[in-house]
Structure 1
Amino acid sequence: MKKAIVIGSRESKLAVIQSQMVISYLEEKRPDLELKLLTMKTTGDKILDQTLDKIGGKGLFVKELDKALLDKKSDVSVHSLKDMPMQIPKELPIIGFSKREDPRDVLILPKGRKQLDFKDPIGCSSRRRMLQLKELFPKAQFQSIRGNVLTRLEKLDHGKYGALILAAAGMKRLGLEERISRYFTIEEILPAPGQGILALQGREGEDYSYLDDFLDQESAYAAIAERAFVKELDGGCSSPTAAYAQVTGDRIFLTGLYYNEESKKYYKGSMEDKVENAKILGIRLAECLGGKKDGHR
């Protein structure tokens, strides 16, 4: 009799595609397993008329999935790492991370439009993006937008926004790469911590060795450094932060951005270290930028 493994996922099309990536891998590598997908609508998916910082932050995207794990209705949850809160329950650890998809942010224009028109607001889901976009587009106006990628695209094409800023990873996984009008470089817009990486979460003490070959060590080092940077700054939805780490051989290079709410300035800098010091590197860069009096770019 095959061992049953239930994969928990948000019910959006993108979340299901991402979970199916894990299922497809296991179907090929582990035919001895019986695989099932359990989808659910999270609190963060239901409340779309308020920004995340006003309704409880990123934890609203994982609460129902966490409960399913604790109740043993599911065995593994698949998340976009950038949507996961910094505090992870000890009993529900992150098992590991997927190979990283394109980490960049992208510009999406309404169907048929070739140029950005500043008379309409740019739909943008995070202050991290807005702060950096103001440097690129001083004339632009921004308006918060919630909902899954397909919902946002529908609002864009119906004339509610002049453009959207989204993650390249989500557009590519949805097969919507042709909608991308411009890729922003990492230097132009530093991504959200973990952008492009999937996090797999399970129960403490259980054997998840069947996922070992799916998991990516370079992504793990990058995720650890980026999340340590944000956690040290106590960053989240209400405190704009950004971080991106690159691994080359046994070295890791981390760039971080921190916005100080009091001084209304942002601070950006980089450091590098050995990969085994990824967490320490994130903390050191956070201490450096968080303690600065005068910003630099």
Structure 2
Amino acid sequence: MKKLLVGSRESRLAVLQTRIVTDLIQKHHPDYGVELVTMKTTGDKILDRTLDKIGGKGLFVRELDQALLDGRADITVHSLKDMPMETDPRLPILAYSRREDPRDALVLPLGQTELDPKKPIGCASARRRIQLEKLFPGCRVEPVRGNVLTRLEKLDRGDYGALVLASAGLRRLGLEERIRRLFSPEEMLPAAGQGILAVQGREDFDRSLLREVDDKDSAACALCERAFVRFLDGGCSSPVAAYAQVDGETLRLRGLYWDEQGWEIDEIRGSVTDAEELGTTLARTMAARRGK
């Protein structure tokens, strides 16, 4: 039996997400056995500072990228929203999973049914912060780090009045019952790639093994959203968001852009075959209005 080495962060959610990919591979390619290679990344180790203070989203992939280059892993699986917009050209994204629920979710402490206005709302991104401040005027928003289960522990012990987390992660962990409110994309625009899993590997990897993993609609949305954010140089420290939807052969992208003049949301429609170009076009249009 052939062996496939699959790299993953060691958190429970990361491993569950990696299993989604490996189960599909093994179902359609039973001649392959899978060995999971888990590791703690720099981003997982440094929890006392926000990502923009320690180097950005690249800290969640650095060790896994090195494992690919060293041959200690054949492919790695990531939450696409946690990947930097620029990736190592030697390690392309090989497949995009079918998208799970892309929305953000409000989570309250166990036993609570109402938001406690005296306590802060915990969230990990500037994108969520500026949209929360509009949804809940006067609320206090503070950063929170750690994996999903660690954040929930902090919430339940009283450090926060609520958390905002990706619905996709909660659902994959079987924690749907913790969701008290789902924010529509009109209320809170998701992060680029939210709900999509990305499979990364070396250029020479046999992509036929990922045929059943790769979803063409997710790929179009991912390319479009990431092109928008990349053009605006958006990352973990920048309140930039993008959400694309496929309707037949049409792709609709809504993008959020923030600078010192404030923030705005705009949209564009076009062919799914022009996904990256659509993202770049909308970003360029919005930046030009600000004189950028």
SS across alignment from 2:22: helix
Find the counterpart in structure 2 of residue 149 from structure 1. Answer: 148
Please tell me whether the aligned partners of residues 115 and 161 of structure 2 are also in contact (alpha carbons under 8 angstroms).
Answer: yes
1:285 corresponds to: 282
Aligned length: 291
Give the Cα separation in 2 of the matches to 1:214 and 1:83: 19
* Aligned counterparts of 1:213 and 1:144: Cα–Cα separation in 2: 37
Alignment map for 1:100-179 (pairs within 5 Å): 100-179=99-178
Per the TM alignment, residue 207 of structure 1 is displaced from its structure 2 partner at its CA by 1.4
Q: CA deviation at 1:90?
A: 1.0
The equivalences for 1:1-297 within 5 A come to 2-260=1-259, 262-263=260-261, 265-293=262-290
Gapped runs of 5+ residues in structure 2?
none
Q: Give every structure 1 segment of 4 or more consecutive aligned residues whose post-TM-superposition deviation is greater than 4 Å.
A: none
Question: For the residues of structure 2 that align with 1:255 and 1:293, how far apart are their CA atoms?
Answer: 18
Contact kept? 2:107, 2:180, Cα under 8 Å:
yes
Q: What SS does structure 1 have at the residue aligned with 2:245? A: strand
In structure 2, what is the Cα distance between the partners aligned to 1:168 and 1:141? Answer: 22
CA contact (8 A) 2:25 2:212 kept: no
CA displacement at 1:27 relative to structure 2: 2.1
Q: CA deviation at 1:197?
A: 0.2
Deviations 1:42-78 (A, max 9, x none): 0000000000001000000000000000000010100
Q: Secondary structure of the residue that 1:85 maps to in structure 2? A: coil
Root mean square deviation, CA, Å: 0.9
AA at the equivalent of 1:230: V
Question: What secondary structure does 1:213 align onto?
Answer: coil
Which runs of 5 or more residues in structure 1 are unaligned?
Answer: none
Q: Deviations over 1:211-255 (max 9, x none)?
A: 111110000000000000000111112221000000011110000
1:290 positional shift: 1.2
Paired residue type of 1:283: T
TM-score by length of structure 2 reads: 0.98
> In 2, distance between residues paired with 1:185 and 1:10?
29
State the distance in 2 between where 1:241 and 1:49 align: 23
